[in-house]
Amino acid sequence: MAIMAVLGSGIMATALSFPMSENGHEVRLVGTHLDREIIDSIQKTGIHPNLGLKVNPGVSAYQLEDAPTAFAGADVVMCGVNSFGIEWIAEQFKTLLRPGQKLLCITKGMRADADGTLHLLPEIIQNALPKELVEQVSWNAVVGPSIAGEVAVHHDTAVVFCGHNQDDLEYLADLFRTDYYHVWTSLDFVGHETGAATKNIYAFAAGFAAGLLKAQGKENDRYVMYNYGSAIFAQGQKEVRQFVTFMGGIPETADGLGGVGDMFVTSMGGRNVKAGTFVGQGIPFSQVRSVHMKGVTLEGVAAISVIGKALRALTSRGVIQESDFPLCRFLYSVVEEDAPLKMPWDKFFADLR
């Protein structure tokens, strides 16, 4: 039996407790300071309120102050916060992480330096830890199309565990594999983490079509706007592939679960798509953010802000071309400069042969 301690008790982290606990392992969910009510609920009733489901036997919940107890003796440690919490969790891990533990990260996103240099999130954690500890911990991540609740209710889900050591990956994969949770492994850590971070950018654009139709009173028409959405999806796929290559990953990683598969699931719905729908209706994004979706966590929009800004810096340094990543750049102008929704079609598919 293995023990996993999870910091962050959101729906995705909690969903992953299902396959692991069903394999006879112990999962300790530790809430952040924002998760007090979730932990309370699980401790009293077993129910995760946002997921709307009861956790399995073998899964226990801890408030943040009890984190040291939960992490003591854990074989596996999960970074289970969202991208906004990565600097916070890095601080926590300074005292919680122990040599020999295998870390599994489900947080997706990027950070950028002022000169545009992009960093994957596990790197942000590593930078906050003593160098020795970084080398004594195994760094891995879960990537692939996963709607949390679907995992929890045992619907088939296919993911990739990526990392730097094949033995560690096999060990981790074996903890989680069930007849519905299908796990592949890959040593292309950078490629997979880049795909997972950048696909969120394009999910925002997946909402535009519904908004455009709504603005014209055509949302119930016989003909909707799948052609529009598919063209954006195709350009998004091209840019994800370019990001994977740019960051040093294997280009083909963008084709699989961590790229196009993940982008597909993210485009099917969720908060970023909803935010994009408001923009499609003609509402400037600053207003979407401050009124229509006030206080809502929008990881895709955050990715656009961070990465879009970095692209400008990278361009001015001559690292990339002005013509690279036209859709991401356009989305940045929508999100940060309230640009209207005039899709720059003529800049797309420039590399077509």
Binding mask 45-84 for a copy of itself (x = CB under 8 A): -------x--------------------------------
**Closer CB to a copy of itself, 2 or 187, in the complex:** 187
**Closer CB to a copy of itself, 234 or 291, in the complex:** 234
Answer yes or no whether residue 252 interacts with a copy of itself by CB under 8 A. yes
Minimal distance in Å, beta carbon 77 to a copy of itself? 24
Residues annotated in the binding site for substrate, as ranges? 108, 271-272
Answer yes or no whether residue 184 interacts with a copy of itself by CB under 8 A. yes
Bridge partner residues of 18 (DSSP) = none
Answer yes or no whether residue 345 interacts with a copy of itself by CB under 8 A. yes
Answer yes or no whether residue 10 interacts with a copy of itself by CB under 8 A. no
Dihedral through CA 257, CA 262, CA 265, CA 266, nearest 10? Answer: 180
Answer yes or no whether residue 273 interacts with a copy of itself by CB under 8 A. no
Q: Locate tokens 């408030």: which residue?
A: 63
Is 199 assigned a catalytic role? yes
Q: Of residues 157, 194, 200, 272, which one binds a copy of itself by CB under 8 A? A: 157
Minimal distance in Å, beta carbon 339 to a copy of itself? 17
Residue 120 burial (CB count, 10 A): 24
**Closer CB to a copy of itself, 151 or 283, in the complex:** 151
- The span from the CA of 279 to the CA of 282, in Å, is 5
From the candidates 54, 94, 131, 199, which is the catalytic residue? 199
Answer yes or no whether residue 342 interacts with a copy of itself by CB under 8 A. no
201: Cβ contacts below 8 Å, ≥ 6 apart = 236, 239, 300, 303, 304, 307, 308, 328, 331
User: In terms of Cα–Cα distance, which of 127, 161, 199, 222 is closest to 20?
Assistant: 161
Residues annotated in the binding site, as ranges? 108, 148, 271-272
In the numeric block, which tokens belong to residue 283?
Answer: 């509402």
Size of the site for a copy of itself (CB under 8 A): 60
**In this chain, which stretch among 30-38, 59-67, 256-264, 301-309 interacts with a copy of itself, using CB under 8 A?**
256-264
Answer yes or no whether residue 226 interacts with a copy of itself by CB under 8 A. yes
User: In terms of Cα–Cα distance, which of 154, 158, 118, 125 is closest to 142?
Assistant: 158
**Closer CB to a copy of itself, 84 or 264, in the complex:** 264
**In this chain, which stretch among 28-36, 76-84, 182-190, 307-315 interacts with a copy of itself, using CB under 8 A?**
182-190
Q: Of residues 142, 152, 298, 334, which one binds a copy of itself by CB under 8 A? A: 152
**In this chain, which stretch among 88-96, 264-272, 288-296, 298-306 interacts with a copy of itself, using CB under 8 A?**
264-272
Positions touching a copy of itself (CB under 8 A) are: 52, 144-147, 149-153, 155-158, 160, 182, 184-188, 221-231, 233-234, 237-238, 241, 250, 252-257, 259-262, 264-265, 268-269, 343, 345-346, 348-349, 351-353
Tell me which residues are annotated as active site. 199
